[in-house]
């Protein structure tokens, strides 16, 4: 069975996207002995490419225009690549508009799509996709329709794969018409750098129990001593106690640090989705019945400020 991994090499999250796909391939049962890479790029190609467990049989470079592009241009390139190298399974990530591209490409190829997939079982005839549904309160197994199957895989949260050289054949596809006819003008915003939370090995996750923006700001020196990035629950972000890029959860950042210290958060399901991939979780809450303790490796029933102040004094 032919498997293709689709990544945006022009995006700051390039290697993090690759980590998402590598984790998906490791977690599932994908009947493939090799894979192809389809890589979007603009003017420069990266010198080294992500290393996967599967050998790479070929690399197709999809050249984007130098100016900002729209999804239709990427879809044209993907269609051309599929015509040259048909694959039964095409894997995108939920980053870099991957879910949108997966759904729209499946429609154009008369195939099937599924977004936010955690694990998959794929053979030449059948595709099964596991994902969470109903606000992460239920696990579902879906069976998309006919191939080709275009799946966007759930973000793993952080880290990036190692890079290596590939001896596989490489070739390039370019757009014959740089702009769609209906595109009149483009107004570009400065690209944002990748959220530091997504690469953090340590995260200090703060909930509404922090009380105020000033109290949250006072925790920054502690985070620096811990070499941790601060993330927050949705109520903290919606109160404008910090920037929205710090929000953890289903509608924010999904992280996978080595250590996550959660302080003052009740543990709502949407928030838990953002931290549950952490290797080790310490939860601090004064309520012994707080839901956050259910997923914690260490639970501390106490006032978050007292515990964090004690931690700060210990570090001094």
Q: What are phi and psi of 122, to 5 degrees?
A: -130, 130
- Residue 305: predicted pLDDT: 92
| Pure H helices in the chain | 14-27, 71-84, 98-108, 213-218, 220-226, 234-238, 269-275, 304-315
Residue 191 has pLDDT above 80, yes or no: no
CATH 3.40.50.300 fits 196-315, yes or no: no
Out of 42-46, 63-67, 132-136, 202-206, pick the least confident. 132-136
pLDDT, mean of residues 179-196: 75
Of the candidates 235, 222, 237, 191, the residue with the CA atom closest to the CA atom of residue 8 = 191
Question: Fold match between 3-174 and 196-315?
Answer: yes
Q: CA–CA separation, 216 vs 200, rounded Å?
A: 19
- Residue 308: predicted pLDDT: 92
| Pure H helices in 13-162 | 14-27, 71-84, 98-108
pLDDT, mean of residues 271-284: 92
- Residue 32: predicted pLDDT: 84
Residue 155 has pLDDT above 90, yes or no: no
Residue 314 has pLDDT above 90, yes or no: no
- Residue 217: predicted pLDDT: 95
Residue 137 has pLDDT above 80, yes or no: no
Residue 157 has pLDDT above 80, yes or no: no
- Residue 24: predicted pLDDT: 92
Residue 29 has pLDDT above 80, yes or no: yes
Pairing of strands 119-122, 127-133: antiparallel
pLDDT, mean of residues 211-239: 94
- Residue 240: predicted pLDDT: 95
Which percentage of the chain shows pLDDT scores above 70? 96
- Residue 192: predicted pLDDT: 64
Q: Which CATH superfamily is domain 3-174 in?
A: HUPs (3.40.50.620)
- Residue 58: predicted pLDDT: 94
What is the DSSP-derived secondary structure letter of residue 253?
B
pLDDT digits (tens, 9 = 90+) for 48-69: 899 998 999 999 999 998 877 8
- Structural domain boundaries in the chain: 3-174, 196-315
Out of 164-178, 259-273, 288-302, pick the least confident. 164-178
Q: CA–CA separation, 208 vs 263, rounded Å?
A: 9
Instruction: Please count the CA atoms within 13 angstroms of the CA of 164 that sit on its side-chain side.
Output: 12
- Residue 159: predicted pLDDT: 64
Q: Residue 236: which H helix or E strand, with range? A: helix 234-238
Q: CA–CA separation, 303 vs 31, rounded Å?
A: 50
Residue 10, both tokens: 């022009």
Residue 187 has pLDDT above 80, yes or no: no
Radius of gyration of the chain (CA): 21
- Residue 135: predicted pLDDT: 67
Residue 270, both tokens: 């949407």
- Residue 167: predicted pLDDT: 85
Band of pLDDT at residue 184, cut at 50, 70 and 90: confident
How does the average pLDDT of the chain come out, rounded? 90
Partner residues linked to 283 by β-bridges: 262, 299
- Residue 124: predicted pLDDT: 80
Residue 59, CA distances (Å) to 93, 166, 172, 288 in order:
18, 9, 8, 53
- Residue 131: predicted pLDDT: 92
Burial class (CB in 10 A: 0-12, 13-18, 19+), 97: middle
């Amino acid at each position: 069975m032919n498997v293709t991994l689709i990544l945006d090499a022009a995006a700051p999250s390039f290697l993090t996207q690759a980590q998402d796909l590598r984790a998906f391939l490791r977690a599932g049962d994908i009947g493939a002995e090799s894979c192809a890479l389809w890589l979007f790029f603009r003017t420069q190609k990266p010198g080294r490419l992500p290393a996967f467990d599967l050998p790479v049989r070929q690399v197709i470079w999809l050249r984007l225009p130098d100016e900002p592009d729209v999804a239709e241009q990427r879809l044209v390139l993907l269609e051309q690549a599929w015509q040259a190298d048909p694959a039964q399974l095409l894997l995108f990530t939920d980053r870099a508009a991957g879910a949108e591209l997966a759904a729209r490409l499946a429609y154009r190829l008369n195939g099937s799509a599924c977004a936010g997939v955690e694990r998959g079982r794929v053979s030449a005839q059948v595709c099964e996709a596991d994902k969470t549904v109903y606000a992460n309160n239920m696990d579902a197994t879906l069976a998309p329709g006919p191939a080709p199957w275009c799946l966007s895989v759930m973000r793993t949260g952080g880290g990036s794969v190692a890079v290596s050289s590939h001896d596989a054949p490489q070739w390039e596809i370019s757009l014959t018409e740089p702009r769609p006819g209906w595109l009149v003008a483009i107004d570009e915003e400065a690209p944002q750098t990748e959220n530091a939370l997504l690469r953090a090995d340590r995260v200090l996750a703060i909930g509404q129990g922090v009380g105020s923006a000033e109290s949250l700001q006072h925790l920054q020196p502690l985070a620096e001593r811990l070499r941790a990035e601060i993330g927050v629950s949705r109520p903290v972000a919606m109160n404008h106690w910090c920037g929205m890029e710090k929000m953890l959860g289903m509608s924010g950042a999904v992280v996978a640090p080595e250590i996550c210290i959660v302080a003052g958060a009740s543990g709502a399901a949407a928030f838990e989705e953002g931290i549950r991939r952490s290797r080790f979780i310490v939860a601090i809450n004064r309520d012994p019945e707080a839901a956050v303790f259910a997923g914690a490796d260490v639970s501390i029933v106490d006032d978050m400020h007292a515990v964090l102040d004690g931690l700060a004094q210990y570090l001094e």
